[in-house]
Chain A
Amino acid sequence: MIYLELFWTFFRIGLFTFGGGYAMLPLIQSEVLAHGWMSLEDIVNFVAVSESTPGPFAVNIATYVGRITAGVGGAACATLGVVLPSFAVILIVAKFYGKFRNSRAVEGAMSGLRPAVVGLIAAALLSIGREVFAVPPGASWAQAGVSAGIFIAIAVLAFQKKHPVLLIGLSAVAGVAAGYALGL
Chain B
Amino acid sequence: MEKDGRKKRGICLELFMTFGKIGLFTFGGGYAMIPLIQREAGENKRWISEGELLDVVAIAESTPGPIAINAATFVGGKVAGVGGAACATLGMVLPSFLIILGVSYLLQAFRSVRAVRYAFWGIRAGVLALILKALWTLFRQCKKRWFEIAVMVLAFAAVALGRVSAIPVILACGLLGVAHSRTGREKR
Chain A residues with a Cβ under 8 A of chain B: 12, 14-23, 25-27, 29-31, 34, 41, 44-45, 47-49, 51-60, 63-64, 67-68, 72, 75-76, 79, 82-83, 85-87, 89-91, 93-94, 97, 100-101, 104-129, 131-132, 146-148, 150-152, 154-155, 157-159, 164-165, 167-168, 170-176, 178-180, 184
Contacts and interface: CB of A to CB of B under 8 A. Distances in A.
Contact of A124 (B119, B131, B181): B131
B139 A175 contact: no
Interface residues of B, number: 98
A172 B169 contact: no
Contact of B66 (A20, A104, A167, A184): A20
B152 to A, nearest CB: 4
B18 interface: no
Q: Which 7 A-B pairs have the closest CB atoms?
A: A175-B122, A112-B177, A55-B96, A86-B65, A171-B126, A179-B118, A119-B155
B169 A116 contact: yes
A26 B159 contact: yes
Contacts, number: 384
B1 interface: no
Contacts of B154: 119
A101 B55 contact: yes
Contacts of B142: 114-115, 118
B155 A56 contact: no
Given A174-B122, A175-B125, 10 more contacts: A16-B171, A20-B60, A21-B66, A45-B107, A53-B99, A55-B97, A59-B93, A110-B61, A114-B142, A172-B120
A91 B131 contact: no
B166 A27 contact: yes
